[in-house]
Amino acid sequence: MNIFFILPIIFITSFVHASELKELEHVLYQKNVQNEMPADPIAFRQPVNDILNALNRDWSVGDKTQLAKEFVQLWQRKHLLNSKDRHGLLDTPRVRIQLAGLLGMTARICLDSVSNDELRQFILLHTQSSNISERALSIRMLGYVGSEQDISFLSTIVEQEMQGVSIFAVLSLETLHNKDAIDELFLLEKKVITPELKAFISDRLRSFKEGGTIQKKACN
């Protein structure tokens, strides 16, 4: 008499446990089941955007202490997700740039991070990228890892009203959390000509005009 053992079929839809990167895990799994990524750079931008959005969603709702540890692992390519990244999406420049910015945010609230100098140098390198989306994102993330040394660089971008990146430079000057950077924004508000850019700067300065103060960093 033959006895057949019927084993339950388990569909594995997740490959990371006890992780705060739930959205990233989910999106990466969806990408992994695809045989290949689009070869066209424009079409390939969407899968990368999906990864970026997942990282941002995780940061907005996850436990910051645990996320900080996992961001460090991702940066060092030691997270389990790195080994499960079939198409190398986590190694694309924009994802690394975004991750550098997130690590800068964790450092500001005294959580695990990577050497700020390492992050800043990586971001500065990509502010010179020929890819406009990489350049714009790196200019934006410089606000989280930059220093007083970067005020002049960011100010020049705004003053020259560089198309596609000047608004990001305004935001970075604001998020440097530096008095000199805010003072520079007040000067730029008077210098720029484009109405939309001038209005954007005015909007970012509104709280300061109403007596607001510069947000202090949690860690020095």
Do 125 and 192 lie in one domain? The reply is no
Q: Please tell me the predicted confidence (pLDDT) of residue 163.
A: 92
Which backbone phi and psi does 189 adopt, to 5 degrees? -60, -35
The answer on 156 and 140 residing in a single domain is no
Residue spans of alpha helices (H) in 33-178: 41-61, 64-75, 80-83, 93-108, 116-126, 132-145, 151-159, 166-175
Judgement on whether residues 26 and 121 belong to the same structural domain of the protein: yes
Residue 132 has pLDDT above 70, yes or no: yes
Whole-structure pTM value: 0.89
Domain total in the chain: 2
Question: Which residues form the domain of 85?
Answer: 20-32+42-146
Tell me, yes or no, whether 121 and 161 share the same domain. no
Q: Are residues 163 and 136 part of one domain?
A: no
pLDDT of res. 77: 98
Q: Is residue 157 part of a domain?
A: yes
135 and 193 co-located in one domain: no
Task: Count the helix, strand and coil residues of the chain and give each as a percent rounded to the nearest 5.
Answer: 65, 0, 35
| DSSP at 31 | H
Based on the fold, state whether residues 95 and 198 are members of the same structural domain.
no
Q: Within this chain, do residues 56 and 138 fall inside the same structural domain, yes or no? A: yes
Give the mean pLDDT of 192-209: 96
Shared-domain flag, residues 140 and 47: yes
Q: Which of 146, 172, 188 is the endpoint of a domain? A: 146
- 37 part of a folded domain: no
pLDDT band at residue 211 under the 50/70/90 scheme: confident
**215 pLDDT band (50/70/90 cuts)?**
confident
Q: Which two tokens stand for residue 125?
A: 């390198």
Instruction: Please check whether residues 81 and 190 belong to one and the same domain.
Output: no
Tell whether 13 is covered by a domain.
no
- What confidence score (pLDDT) does residue 33 get? 93
Residue 15 has pLDDT above 70, yes or no: no
Q: Which of 126, 188, 125 is nearest to 156 (CA)?
A: 188
| Domain assignment present for 15 | no
Identify the domain boundary among 95, 111, 146.
146
Q: Are residues 47 and 142 in the same domain?
A: yes
Q: Which of 187, 196, 184 is nearest to 154 (CA)?
A: 184
Together in a domain, 131 and 76: yes
Q: Which of 112, 146, 180 marks a domain boundary?
A: 146
User: Rounded to whole angstroms, how far apart are CA atoms 22 and 16?
Assistant: 8
Residue 112 domain flag:
yes
pLDDT confidence of residue 17: 56
Alpha carbons 93 and 190: distance in angstroms, whole number: 35
Q: Is 7's pLDDT higher than 70?
A: no
